[in-house]
Structure 1
Amino acid sequence: MATKILPPSDSAYQYPLLIKQLLHSSQRFENNNPIVSGPHRFSYAQFNERVCRLANALKAAGIGPGDTVAVMDWDSHRYLECFFAIPMIGAILHTVNIRLSPGQILYTMNHAEDDLVLVHDDFVPIIDGIKDQLETVKGFIRLSDESQSPSSEFPTLGEYEALLAQADVHYDFPDFDENSVATTFYTTGTTGNPKGVYFSHRQLVLHTLNMVNMLQSRSSEGALLNHDGVYMPITPMFHVHAWGIPYAATMMGVKQVYPGRYIPDELTRLIREEGVTFSHCVPTILQMVLQSSEAPDTDFRGWTVIIGGSALTSGLAKAAMERGIQPYSAYGMSETCPLLAITRMGKEEHALAEEDQIGWRIKAGLPSDLVDIQIWNPEGEVLPHDGKSTGELVTRSPWLTQSYLNEPEKGDELWQGGWLHTGDIACIHPDGSVEIKDRIKDVIKTGGEWISSLELESLISKHAGVSAVTVVGVPDERWGERPFALVVPNCEDLETESLIEHLQQFVDDGTINKWAIPKEFKLVDDIPKTSVGKIDKKLIRAQIS
């Protein structure tokens, strides 16, 4: 029998899932919580008015449905306003990775066919150097902080705040197809030019609804973030919409704090003075906050942090918990909007001693609602969820990018077999929890054995003298590859012999085999990072090969 579908009434409202509904939701109940950015503090009513003003300013600049607006800014109230106003008028928001080289920024702007660029004074020199090679850009709007004097002679349509002051406070945001592209940005995780990832209004709304539910239900000890919390992103807003959490925080009407540039002392001061209860970041940023000069004077109790981008190590989790921080792990990637899985701890796990909680906190956790996850072997066969079988993690959910912008052949590769391929090696436990073992390209193959660089990093991080660590595989004539470790010490007398002795205990108890002890430990002041703060293993391998 065929599925029965009843036609809607001709007079019924066909409710499209559009970003404007996320903003309108916050207006229903929020009167007190502000949006904080530098010297600015806006109520949600004022924020809504500013979004309308920005929409009118964009319209006056000639921007309409289907046009693309690039933004180059630090994390600010302006960026949050762009998250809403640009897609709400039917245009496409291009969040430019400001840490790319000028040549890569030029490539992404031409590839995205940007029509207008909103550029902070700090990045005007970059744009000034490439503006004559921009193929589709018709104008620029300058973004300035109050403490700065106006930028040089660079030609613009005006300064952001001045343009908003002149614009009307009302804008009738239209309905349109919920499958219209809302945002795009570029991921640089592989060789070659950056690839454009894009998301529709429908995908972002569904992701936001799921994120709100996840934030309020994933811990038996209370919500990770609720209406009474204070949210501060420490993930760049150009990177997967700061993991999509600004959309969720706005819908929930929480107090939001935007920190501008990521200066560790300033981040720590904001956590203390603004009473921040929830943030998200890569491990490197959490480490910087803990080591900042403001940290000794800061009570971190009540601060929950979601770690993603790179694996949360046991050592960093322990260091955070010793300062009263509640760390959790989340898993996703640029192409997945990004939420796929997150730590879920019940009453039994929270009742454990802190040392025993770490194993739960560093796992990717359980898949989020509406997310299907499997692990496949190289032949595309589904492997059992027994906590032992490992294979590539593949996934499906309503908010995954459908392809790469203007590169359908790469999109077909991403979606081979009808599932999105993450490139991560994982196992799934009988309870459904996901444990990421490594990136396929980062697994170390030595003497016929596969060694997880993530597991080895977590074990090394437990050494009291280790501040940060990363492990890569290097060529070895006898064994094919051997592990090589870069270690940032937190003391002056750390020696290689001490690290080897530390790892030997895990060989003795069967956690790792003897070949997992790195061929060489190199003590360094810092570990190379990518443009979004992840450890750059590709660069490290190139430097030591």
Structure 2
Amino acid sequence: MGTPRILTTPAEDAYAYPLLLRHLLANVARQTSAEIVSGQWRLTYDALLDRVTRLATLLSERGVRAGDTVAVMDWDSHRYLECYFAIPMMGAVLQTVNVRLSPAQIEYTLRESGAVFALHHADFAPLFDAIQPNLPAIRGAIPMEEDAKADSYEALIAATAPSFRFEDFDENAIATTFHTTGTTGNPKQVFFSHRQLVLHTLALAATLANQPSGQGLRRGDVYMPMTPMFHVHAWGLPFVATMLGLKQVYPGRYDPRRLLALKERERVSFSHCVPTILRMLLDARDDGESLGPWTVIIGGSALAPALAEEAARAGLSTLVGFGMSETGPVVALARAPGGDVADLCRAGFPIPLVHARVDAERGGELLLRAPWLTQGYGSQAASDALWEGGWLHTGDVAATDGDGAIRIVDRLKDVIKTGGEWVSSIAIEELLMELPGVAEAAIIGVPDGKWGERPVAFVVAAAAGSPPDTKLLREGLMRHVDAGRLSGYAIPERVFVLETLPRTSVGKVDKRALRARLATDAANAAMTI
């Protein structure tokens, strides 16, 4: 095999053009008249770029230098968007703090990241004040108030001249860091470079532009995130929307009535959220109210076809985007030219630059390669396990359909082996949610002396105080067994009816908590089917 040719004699003054986040802003202010809406604020893109420069100037004056980590604790706002750019653009590292973690976990993440400065919303001031004495590396903080109090973010930005000069540096410099939201042990820290975030932004933008009508993002769309900006860069969409100069709406805290009001007032047409938020929106709308046109990407956990169909009746176009904290996050996106719900509920097609394969020797685990996947955790051992064999291990059991789309069968840790057969907890959950009286469902496997494991169901009733009929649940699942769509071993023997399902800080069903609850609840708390 020969040796690839490499350009070794570039022009003396040729510009190498490192892939830095600041280059996503090239020309945007001159090419759009769209606004960024946040609380009482309506900003032009010119104003956004001015404020980004002022923030970098302010942080520099407060002693923040390239390589330092700046922690941000805020709800979704224009201020958070400014941090997305200003902090990495000055060569510092943006730490997006998961404010839904416990105080002890938040303190742990700030300590492990080595944050030297913090920007925090007033809602988190008591928490920050309580943990700051235990964080000697923190040299300063600025409260992120909505009004312009003397020492607040807004007052300081207004009083600071936009004098910071953004310079080029190595595109492999770390731009962001945050901690994953696993259900065991302390959260794990991941890192993303400027190069990774720019490539993810370009690949995701190209994918959304190539989607069928009603399933992508277009020039005239109005973007509103409904995934917290602390969670995997709000799935990377703020970077895409800003690069394209779209109108953006930042809703603050996620109250469903407020989200619906903003959708109506600002004509929001593109969003993303977890299934829990989608459920809240559908429950909060007035009877018969149409929410369309509104394209909503669903991630974080499986989108049940029954929920997607209910959303479609309300005027929403929902489709699945697949990824995880370690993948930056998007690696696949569903599409279906005919709008087929089953196809839109798959993990979808790998987006450009993503290589995906299913490893049969590892129980069907999905393995990935892409230029924006985190290169590891803070722990070397954990990093080596994540990248064993040169592929990122997702922990998801997957299958590839004939058209190349990925289907997530289950998590490796959640798949159930009963009676010698592998049973997908996701498949049972989706079928339960199609049955009358069931709004949400979760399945876990429990040890069984005869069968190895048996599935146990937890459901939330569609109507409060009206538990589903267990006979109808069994009959409904048996119809799928008779039709060959479900193994007879997959019929749960017990069903627990809960008011709500326990969830992690980012909205995923917390199956570890369900297992703990099962271990302590009395046997007669469940219904046998």
Q: Same fold (TM over 0.5)?
A: yes
CA drift of 1:19 comes to: 0.2
Deviation of the 1:422 alpha carbon: 0.2
* Mapping of residues 415-454 of structure 1, within 5 Å: 415-454=387-426
Q: How far is 1:438 from its partner? A: 0.3
1:279 aligns with 2:271: yes
Amino acid at match of 2:92: A
Q: Paired residue for 1:93?
A: 94
Pick from 174, 178, 183: which aligns with 2:171?
178
Deviation of 1:532 (Å): 0.6
Equivalent residues of 1:272, 1:299 under 8 A apart: no
What runs of 5+ residues in structure 2 fail to find an aligned partner?
520-529
Measured against aligned partners, the alpha-carbon deviations of 1:318-377 in whole angstroms (never above 9, x if no partner) come to 11011111010011100000111111222xx23xxxxxx221111011111100000113
Greater mean deviation of Cα atoms: 456-465 or 484-493: 484-493
One-letter identity of the residue aligned with 1:4:
R
CA 433–223 in structure 1, closer or farther in 2 if over 3 Å, else same: closer
Q: Which amino acid aligns with 2:426?
A: L
Supply the distance in 2 between the matched residues of 1:135 and 1:432 (Cα, whole angstroms). Answer: 51
Alignment of 1:7-26 (within 5 A): 7=8, 8-26=10-28
Mapped contact 2:327–2:373 kept (Cα < 8 A) = yes
Correspondence 1:42 to 2:25? no
Preserved contact between residue 298 and residue 320 of structure 2 (Cα < 8 Å): yes
Number of the residue aligned with 2:346 = 363
Report what 2:162 is aligned to.
169
Instruction: Determine the C-alpha separation between the residues in 2 that align with 1:243 and 1:58.
Output: 26
Deviations 1:157-186 (A, max 9, x none): 931001101111343211000000000000
Query: Normalization by structure 2: what TM-score?
Result: 0.95
Letter in 2 for 1:193: N
Separation in structure 1 between the aligned mates of residue 171 and residue 5 of structure 2, nearest angstrom? 24
Q: Distance in 1 between matches of 2:366 and 2:398?
A: 6
Match of 1:30 among 32, 57, 60: 32
Q: Which residue of 1 aligns with 2:478?
A: 504
The answer to whether 1:224 aligns with 2:207 is no
Structure 1 window deviating more from structure 2 (490-499 vs 11-20): it is 490-499
Out of 372, 375, 382, which is 1:402 matched to? 375
Q: Which residue of 1 aligns with 2:525?
A: none
Q: The residue matched to 1:115 in structure 2 has which SS?
A: strand
Whether the aligned pair in 2 keeps the contact of 1:268 and 1:295 (CA below 8 Å) is: no
Matched, 1:480 2:480: no
Q: 1:486 to 1:493 in 2, by over 3 A?
A: closer
User: Of residues 485, 490, 500 in structure 1, which corresponds to 2:462?
Assistant: 490
User: Identity over aligned residues, as a percent?
Assistant: 50
Distance 1:484 1:222, change over 3 A: closer
User: What amino acid is aligned across from residue 342 of structure 2 in structure 1?
Assistant: G
Superposition deviation, residue 439 in structure 1: 0.3
Q: Is the 8 A contact 1:217 1:223 kept in 2?
A: no
Q: 1:444 touches 1:453 (CA, 8 Å); kept in 2?
A: yes
Give, in whole Å, the separation in 2 of the partners of 1:482 and 1:360: 29
Please say if residues 49 and 170 of structure 1, whose CA atoms lie closer than 8 Å, have aligned partners that are also in contact. no
Match of 1:125 in 2: 126
Structure 1 residue aligned with 2:324: 333
Query: Residue by residue, what CA displacement relative to the aligned partner does 1:461-505 show, whole Å, maximum 9, x if unpaired?
Result: 111321111111122222121111111111325211111111111
* Pairwise CA distance, 1:25: 4.2
SS in 1 for 2:171: coil
2:310 to 316, 319, 330: 319
The reply on whether 1:265 has 2:237 as its aligned counterpart is: no
Say which SS state the counterpart of residue 168 (structure 1) adopts: coil
Q: Which amino acid aligns with 2:275?
A: P
Q: Is the 8 A contact 2:256 2:281 kept in 1?
A: yes
SS in 2 for 1:399: coil
**Cα shift readout 1:197-233 (whole Å, capped 9, x = no counterpart):** 11000000000001111111122x2561122100000
Distance 1:493 1:544, change over 3 A: closer
SS in 1 for 2:321: strand
Contact 1:25 1:251 in 2 (8 A): no
1:135 equivalent in alignment to 2:136: yes
Verify the 8 A CA contact 1:375 1:427 in the aligned structure 2: yes
Cα separation, 2, equivalents of 1:517 and 1:532: 29
Q: 1:297 to 1:82 in 2, by over 3 A?
A: farther
Amino acid paired to 1:452: S
Q: Deviations over 1:240-293 (max 9, x none)?
A: 00000000000011110101001111111111111110110110000001001x
Match of 1:192 in 2: 185
Q: Which of 210, 214, 235 in structure 1 is aligned with 2:227?
A: 235
Count residues in correspondence.
515
Deviation at 1:297, TM superposition (A): 7.2
Letter in 2 for 1:94: Q
Residues 183 and 510 in structure 2, CA contact (< 8 A), matched pair in contact too: no
**What amino acid does structure 2 have at the position aligned with 1:5?**
I
Q: Is the 8 A contact 2:354 2:368 kept in 1?
A: yes
Q: Deviations over 1:56-114 (max 9, x none)?
A: 11111111100000000001110000000000000000000001111111111010000
Distance 1:179 1:100 in 2: 29
| SS at structure 2 position matched to 1:236 | coil
Aligned counterpart for 1:535 among listed residues 497, 500, 509: 509
What letter matches 1:199 in structure 2? F
The answer (yes or no) to whether the contact 1:329–1:365 under 8 Å persists in 2 is yes
Mapped to 2, the partners of 1:200 and 1:370 lie a distance apart of 17
CA distance in 2 between counterparts of 1:503 and 1:394 reads: 32
Task: Tell me by how many angstroms 1:426 deviates.
Answer: 0.4
In 2: Cα distance, 1:303 partner to 1:4 partner: 49
In 2 relative to 1, CA 483–120 (structure 1 residues): closer, same or farther, beyond 3 Å? same
Report the equivalent of 1:248. 240
CA distance in 2, matches of 1:276, 1:138: 40
| Partner in structure 1 of residue 442 of structure 2 | 470
- Counterpart selection for 1:211 from 186, 204, 213: 204
AA partner of residue 171 (structure 1): F
Query: For 2:413, what is the secondary structure of its paired residue?
Result: helix
- Corresponding residue of 2:524: none
Q: Which amino acid aligns with 2:32?
A: E
Counterpart residue number, 1:53: 54
**Corresponding residue number in structure 2 for 1:375:** 358
Is the 2:68–2:93 Cα contact (8 Å) retained in structure 1? Answer: yes
SS of 1:442's equivalent in the other structure is coil
Shift of 1:430: 2.7
**Alpha-carbon offset, residue 541 of structure 1:** 1.1
Tell me, yes or no, if the aligned pair for 1:281 and 1:305 is still in contact at 8 Å: yes
CA RMSD of the aligned region, Å? 1.5
C-alpha contact (below 8 Å) 1:226/1:252 kept by paired residues: no
Q: Contact conserved, 1:312 with 1:362, CA < 8 A, in 2?
A: yes
Change (3 A) 1:526 1:222: closer
Say whether residues 1:393 and 2:386 are aligned partners: no
What residue ranges of structure 1 are gaps of 5+ in the alignment? 151-156, 351-356, 380-389
Aligned to 1:384: none
- 1:124-158 C-alpha deviation (Å, 9 max, x unpaired): 11112111101311111001123xx97xxxxxx93
> Displacement of 1:310 after TM fit?
0.1
Provide the residue aligned with 1:455 in structure 2. 427
Contact 1:489–1:523 (8 Å) recurs in 2: yes
